[in-house]
């Protein structure tokens, strides 16, 4: 987005702000200083203000990545207040995260869908009101309930939540290898439980699951439409065609058939009403099914290490990778049934019912356009699904920060194990080989990063054994075998590890 350069500052000389197409904001701070104590003071101040910090290498420069803010001014004000930057930076645009208009549109497609649905929802409520159908009005309200959520959270900006999720998974995985996290590592900050109010927790929930909320509401709307259709079918079967409706049919039919009888008109009316409501029942069933599929099926990214599948397995795999596309296709079928029922209604002769039909036509048009937007959308979360490319690099940097602070004899082993963990299809869904190689490069790049040194590197050539008290299930023989394995690893890899 922009680069702030402070040529006359001795503590922080450059801050790069990046904002991706989905609205994720982060900053990379570079320091020319060798004063580790001053850098540690900067880190402590940022942590105290609840920023999330990750040691990072940007364009070959050692930096600290800062997340947890929405506006550049919040970070700039804090740094200026502490006299770490001046008030006369040189600002230039940065195009690192510039996305194509296609990507920008796709990242906002759920928001666009929300806007289109808003128009249709109002019309469906009006349709139910004009037709004196409480169930159809309830369906319109349920259709409209997720609209403000899609408008507010449909941008798929979930990177901050995803990084915290990955951090918790990573901490659990890391503790399988080394039972305690190193002091000062970025993972400690990211996994810390900050107290949040009810509103913030609700906001996080809706930010994480806007499409699931939408789909559950639509499933509820489908249930209301199905119940309304069944109610109408039972009512007309039991009591026949209402007198006012029959009069409308007689008035219309007598023009072409002067000898028409009430019995004949009633039969034609019932046929029309049943056809419309059978279609409405189909609307309800397809809407319920599509909504539940979109809400309950967890999205997964394509795993390059996964063997290619065929037949039903391949079809299910595609559905898992594109759940909103499948749900949107179902909603389109539902909307076409809406259109069919609307067309049948226009052929009917119930004056009151026909007054409601134009509102349903408006709903059908806007719903079809909205469903096209849903079809190209992603939930933005799931197995290996990330909301923007920065999440991959940040996750690798978090792991590298953990590893570089461990004894050297453990580092190669940890790079292999944590690399495979990051490559898993429920984490970053990368090729294991690529994940291990990328992690190794990140570890090497962090060795001379002053932001890492400020928190302390591990200088002990001999790893600290896992305390038996912490792991009672491990007997002394097992601990000795583990120490021997690590010692062998140190000897074999001594020439491969650069000295700190």
What pLDDT shows up at residue 136? 86
Per-residue exposure over 244-263, b if at least 16 CB sit within 10 Å of its own CB, e if not: ebbbbbbebbeeeeeebeee
Cα gap 400→422, rounded to integer Å: 11
Q: Record the tokens describing residue 21, joined without a space.
A: 């197409």
What pLDDT shows up at residue 34? 86
What pLDDT shows up at residue 226? 95
Is residue 114 within 8 A of residue 150, CB to CB? The reply is: yes
Closest CA to 405 of 442, 367, 352, 459: 459
Distance of CA 93 to the CA centre of its chain: 28
Cα gap 461→491, rounded to integer Å: 11
Tell me: the pLDDT tens digits for 85-142?
Answer: 998 899 987 654 555 666 666 667 878 888 888 888 888 888 888 877 889 889 889 9
Taking the chain (500 residues) in runs of 10, the rounded mean pLDDT of each run is: 89 89 82 92 92 91 90 92 92 64 70 85 85 86 87 70 82 81 78 70 80 92 94 77 73 75 81 88 95 92 78 88 92 92 78 81 90 84 68 90 88 92 85 92 92 72 39 39 42 40
Backbone angles phi, psi at 12, to 5 degrees: -130, 115
What pLDDT shows up at residue 418? 92
Cα gap 363→131, rounded to integer Å: 15
């Amino acid at each position: 987005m922009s680069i702030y350069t402070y040529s006359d500052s001795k503590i922080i000389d450059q801050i790069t702000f990046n904002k991706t197409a989905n609205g994720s904001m982060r900053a990379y701070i570079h320091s020319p200083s060798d004063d580790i104590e001053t850098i540690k003071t900067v880190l402590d101040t940022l942590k105290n203000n609840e920023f999330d910090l990750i040691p990072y290498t940007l364009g070959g420069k050692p930096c600290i990545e800062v997340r947890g803010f929405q506006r550049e001014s919040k970070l700039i004000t804090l740094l200026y207040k502490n006299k770490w930057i001046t008030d006369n930076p040189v600002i230039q645009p940065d195009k690192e995260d510039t996305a194509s208009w296609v990507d920008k549109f796709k990242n906002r497609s759920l928001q666009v869908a929300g806007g289109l649905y808003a128009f249709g929802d109002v019309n469906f409520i009006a349709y139910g009101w004009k037709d004196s159908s409480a169930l159809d009005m309830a369906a319109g309200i349920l259709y409209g309930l997720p609209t403000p959520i899609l408008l507010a959270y449909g941008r798929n900006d979930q990177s901050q939540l995803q990084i915290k999720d990955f951090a918790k998974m990573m901490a659990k995985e890391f503790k399988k290898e080394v039972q305690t996290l190193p002091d000062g590592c970025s993972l400690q900050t990211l996994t810390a439980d900050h107290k949040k109010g009810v509103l913030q927790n609700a906001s996080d929930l809706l930010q994480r699951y806007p499409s699931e909320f939408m789909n559950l509401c639509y499933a509820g709307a489908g249930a209301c439409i199905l119940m309304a259709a069944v109610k109408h079918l039972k009512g007309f079967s039991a009591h026949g065609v209402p007198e006012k409706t029959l009069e409308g049919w007689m008035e219309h039919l007598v023009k072409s058939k002067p000898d028409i009888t009430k019995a004949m008109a009633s039969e034609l009316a019932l046929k029309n009403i049943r056809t419309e409501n059978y279609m409405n029942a189909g609307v309800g069933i397809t809407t319920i099914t599509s909504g539940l599929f979109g809400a309950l099926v967890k999205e997964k990214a394509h795993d390059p290490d996964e063997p290619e599948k065929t037949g039903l397995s391949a079809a299910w795999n595609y559905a898992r990778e594109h759940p909103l596309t499948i749900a949107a296709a179902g909603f389109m079928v539902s909307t076409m049934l809406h259109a069919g029922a609307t067309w049948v209604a226009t052929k009917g002769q119930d004056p009151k019912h026909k007054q409601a039909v134009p509102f349903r036509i408006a709903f059908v048009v806007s719903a079809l356009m909205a469903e096209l937007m849903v079809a190209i959308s992603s939930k933005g979360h799931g197995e290996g699904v990330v909301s923007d490319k920065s999440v991959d690099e940040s996750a690798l940097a978090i792991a590298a920060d953990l590893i570089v602070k461990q004894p050297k004899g453990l580092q190669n082993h940890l790079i292999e194990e944590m690399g495979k963990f990051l490559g898993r299809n429920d984490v970053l869904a990368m090729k294991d080989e690529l994940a291990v190689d990328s992690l190794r490069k990140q570890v090497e790049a962090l060795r001379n990063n002053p932001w890492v040194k400020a928190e302390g590197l591990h200088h002990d050539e001999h790893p600290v054994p896992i305390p038996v008290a912490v792991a009672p299930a491990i007997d002394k023989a097992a601990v000795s075998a583990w120490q021997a394995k690590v010692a062998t690893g140190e000897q074999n890899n001594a020439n491969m590890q650069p000295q700190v």
